[in-house]
Each structure stands twice: as C-alpha cells, then as structure tokens.
C-alpha cells in the first residue's frame, strides 16, 4: 500500500547534530528512511489522545520490517492516567511508558526499555539508531532533549517545527533520530473528524487553526470541562460560551461586538496546552 503523508511547516535547528539531512524529503520517503535507518523506533503519542495520535501506517511499516517499537505516552502531566487506563486497552501497545517531558517523569523507565532492546539486538561494530516518530506537536524533540539532558533538538509550541532528520548522540553506542511530525493521509474518519482530532493534538496550533469556532463547538459538546474551566453556564452551546467568555474578557471589536475568532482561539489554546482537562 502506498501511504501518502502530509506535514506542517516549522523551522528546526540542528545544534549539536552529529549528522543531519536537513533538506526536505517528500513523505513517505522520509518516514521510510527513518524506519529503515532505525533499529528501534519510539512512537510518541499524546497521553490524552493515545488512539487518536497513533500512526497505524507507520506502525505497520515498522512491524513488517521487524523493528522494535516502544510507545511513549507523552504529556502525561496533562492526562488522568487512571482514567486513560480504564478507557483504553493498552495491552497491544507494549512496551509502553507514560512520560512527562515537562516534569521529567518516566524518563528512567524509557531509558531502561531502550537499553533492554539495545542489548537484545546485540549490534556490534556500529552505533544503534533509535528513531523517534509521531504526529506533529506530540513532544518528540522535547523527549529527545530530556533524554539527552541538554537542549539539542529544537522544540516549539508551534506544530510542524522539526524538518528533516536530526541525528543526536544519546550514548557512545546509541544515536537518536529526531524527525518531523507526520500525519498519515490514510487516517480514518470524515474530513471534519480528522480536523477535530488534529486540533486536539495541536497539529495546527490555535493561532493557525482554520475555523476555530467550528472546532470549539465540537469540543464544547464533548468536554463539559471547558464550561467548568471558565465557570460559565452555556448548556454546551459554544455560541453562548464564546459570547459570555468574550464579554468577560473584554474581547471586543467595533460596535461593542464580541471578537468571536479571538475568543474561540483562546479556548482552543487553553485546551491544547492542557489547562482544560481533556477526559
């Protein structure tokens, strides 16, 4: 099956990169190259949206090439792990580890999982390559920086930040590969469902989102936590919520009307950055 990918555009640095291939390559060439080059692959998922942030196509490519895969559920500081474990069957995603790059939690366990795989592979005479893949904005570069204990992989709140493959030295024997976030075009769901899902993960951040009002209207239906967060009663009607919140924040345009776009983007930003509980 030919898999086509799309990706957003951000700039990334390449500080301390041992070897870089910074020029853009079309997907899936880049994904295939990462999988081909890597002995072990870490798929970084958003702990709040584990199923939604999985790249099934990439997982299949990895499985078919008989490479090891480790699942990292990042941004665990934003998720209620007990609820996540009740909601999702994690058995098929072993080995996995909940990580918070922000709080530097789960890193020791991840290091152990990498070491177990490295010693099982028993590669001699060359470095072991560990590729890090995942949707844009899941925290791949942040994870690498925490693993390395220094800011080497460039990260940013803006999705699509990393471009090209960046190779960094994890230990004398292990190289870690930072890659740009990838959205498979073969994602399931309607265009609208895909768009909402990507908005949740933050593939396109609030400042760049198209139609933030539509996204917010869907999020408000799904997450009562949004109303609670702003302490506004709106009966899950986003128009009412935006109107009341805009007025509260004094987000006004000419004629004293509410700046609907600005208010919707604020809600989306608070949601994407985890200030609002997503479960």
Q: Which of 142, 152, 217, 263 binds ligand GTP (CB under 6 A)?
A: 142
Alpha-carbon gap, residue 57 to 267, rounded angstroms = 32
Contact predicate 155/179, CB 8 Å:
no
Nearest residue to ligand GTP, by Cβ distance, number only: 181
Could you tell me which stretch among 151-159, 169-177, 188-196, 231-239 binds ligand GTP (CB under 6 A)? 151-159
Kindly give the residue spans of alpha helices, DSSP state H, lying in 122-166.
140-148
Q: How far is the CB of 156 from Mg ion (least distance, A)?
A: 8
Residue 223 makes contact with ligand GTP by CB under 6 A: no
Residue among 111, 87, 83, 116 nearest 97 (CA): 111
Q: Which of 162, 238, 263, 272 binds ligand GTP (CB under 6 A)?
A: 162
Residue among 18, 23, 58 nearest 144 (CA): 18
Residue 199 makes contact with ligand GTP by CB under 6 A: no
Token pair belonging to 264: 């919707």
Q: How far is the CB of 14 from ligand GTP (least distance, A)?
A: 13
Please write down the long-range contacts of 48-53, taking CB distance under 8 Å and 24 or more positions apart.
Answer: 48/75, 48/78, 48/79, 48/84, 48/200, 48/274, 48/278, 48/279, 49/197, 49/200, 49/201, 49/278, 50/84, 50/88, 50/90, 50/93, 51/88, 52/197, 52/200, 52/201, 53/134, 53/135, 53/138, 53/201
Residue closer to Mg ion, measured from CB, 44 or 209:
44
Q: Which of 31, 93, 101, 201 binds ligand GTP (CB under 6 A)?
A: 101
Residue closer to Mg ion, measured from CB, 131 or 246:
131
Q: How far is the CB of 133 from ligand GTP (least distance, A)?
A: 9
13 binds, among Mg ion, ligand GTP, none (CB under 5 to 8 A by kind): none
CA 68, distance to chain mean position in Å, is: 20
Alpha-carbon gap, residue 130 to 145, rounded angstroms = 14
Q: Footprint of Mg ion on this chain (CB under 5 A)?
A: 140-141, 161-162
Token pair belonging to 62: 């990895």
Nearest residue to Mg ion, by Cβ distance, number only: 162
Site pattern 41..80 for ligand GTP (x: CB under 6 A): ---------------------------------xx-xx--
Residue 180 makes contact with ligand GTP by CB under 6 A: yes
CA dihedral of 115, 116, 122, 127, whole degrees rounded to 10 = -20
Residue closer to ligand GTP, measured from CB, 248 or 275:
275
Q: Which of 136, 184, 212, 246 binds ligand GTP (CB under 6 A)?
A: 136
Given the rule CB under 6 A, which residues bind ligand GTP?
A: 10, 74-75, 77-78, 100-102, 134, 136-142, 155-157, 159-162, 180-181, 274
């Amino acid at each position: 099956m030919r898999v086509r990918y799309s990706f957003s555009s951000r700039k990334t640095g390449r500080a301390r990169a041992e070897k870089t291939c910074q020029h853009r390559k079309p997907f899936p060439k880049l994904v295939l190259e990462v999988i081909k080059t890597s002995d072990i692959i870490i798929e970084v998922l958003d702990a709040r949206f584990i199923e939604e942030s999985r790249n099934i196509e990439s997982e299949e490519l990895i499985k078919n090439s008989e490479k090891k895969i480790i699942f990292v559920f990042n941004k665990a500081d934003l998720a209620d792990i007990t609820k996540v474990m009740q909601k999702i069957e994690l058995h098929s995603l072993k080995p996995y580890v909940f990580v918070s790059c922000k709080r530097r939690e789960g890193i020791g366990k991840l290091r152990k999982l990498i070491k177990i795989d490295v010693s099982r592979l028993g590669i001699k005479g060359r470095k072991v390559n560990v590729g890090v893949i995942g949707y844009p904005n899941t925290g791949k570069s942040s994870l690498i920086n925490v693993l390395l204990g220094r800011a080497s992989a460039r990260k940013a709140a803006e999705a699509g930040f990393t471009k090209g493959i960046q190779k960094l030295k994890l230990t004398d024997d292990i190289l870690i590969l930072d890659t740009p976030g990838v959205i498979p075009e073969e994602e399931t769901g309607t265009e609208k469902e895909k768009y909402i899902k990507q908005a949740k993960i933050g593939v396109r951040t609030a400042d760049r989102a198209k139609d933030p009002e539509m996204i917010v209207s869907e999020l408000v239906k799904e997450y009562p936590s949004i109303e609670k967060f702003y302490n506004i009663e709106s009966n899950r009607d986003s128009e009412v919520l935006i109107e009341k919140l805009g007025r509260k924040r004094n987000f006004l345009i000419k004629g004293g009307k509410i700046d609907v776009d600005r208010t919707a983007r604020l809600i989306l930003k608070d949601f994407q950055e985890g200030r609002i509980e997503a479960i």
